Amino acid sequence: MGLGSTAKKVQKLGDLAEKLYAQLKDVRERVIALEQSVEESNKRVSALETDSEKQLVLLKAIAEEQGIDAEQVLADAAIDEAEQSDDTAGSSDDAAASSSGDTESQQSASASSQTQNDD
């Protein structure tokens, strides 16, 4: 009897080991595929960065030819973008302030009506 239950336990361990090995093999294949995908993405990003740098040089040359200060244009664009993001953040702050201001005006109106009732 002891030998039969031991054989069952060994068989269960063997089955479990086979399942774990299959899962490990699957995970290994997925990691390899992911590494390849990352390498391909890095190559594409590098190519895009190179193209972007070439385009920037070309645009600066055209701007210089036309008498436009490209650096100033880029600086102005950055300032405009920063102001727009500040305005967006400020409008949400303004909305919060106006709703608290509404509460304050309601409280003050309530207090003044109470004072008139006391008179």
How do the domains of the chain map onto residue ranges? 2-90
At 117, is the pLDDT very low, low, confident or very high (cuts 50, 70, 90)? very low
Q: How many residues does the chain have?
A: 119
The answer on pLDDT for 107 being more than 70 is: no
Each residue's pLDDT tens digit, 35-45: 999 999 999 99
What amino acid occupies position 41?
Answer: S
- What is the rounded CA–CA span in Å between residue 85 and residue 89? 6
Residue 52 CB: number of other CB atoms within 10 A?
Answer: 10
At 3, is the pLDDT very low, low, confident or very high (cuts 50, 70, 90)? confident
Q: Identify how many contiguous H helices and E strands the chain contains and give both numbers.
A: 2, 0
- What is the rounded CA–CA span in Å between residue 40 and residue 34? 10
**Quick one: pLDDT at residue 42?**
97
The answer on pLDDT for 52 being more than 60 is: yes
**Quick one: pLDDT at residue 5?**
86
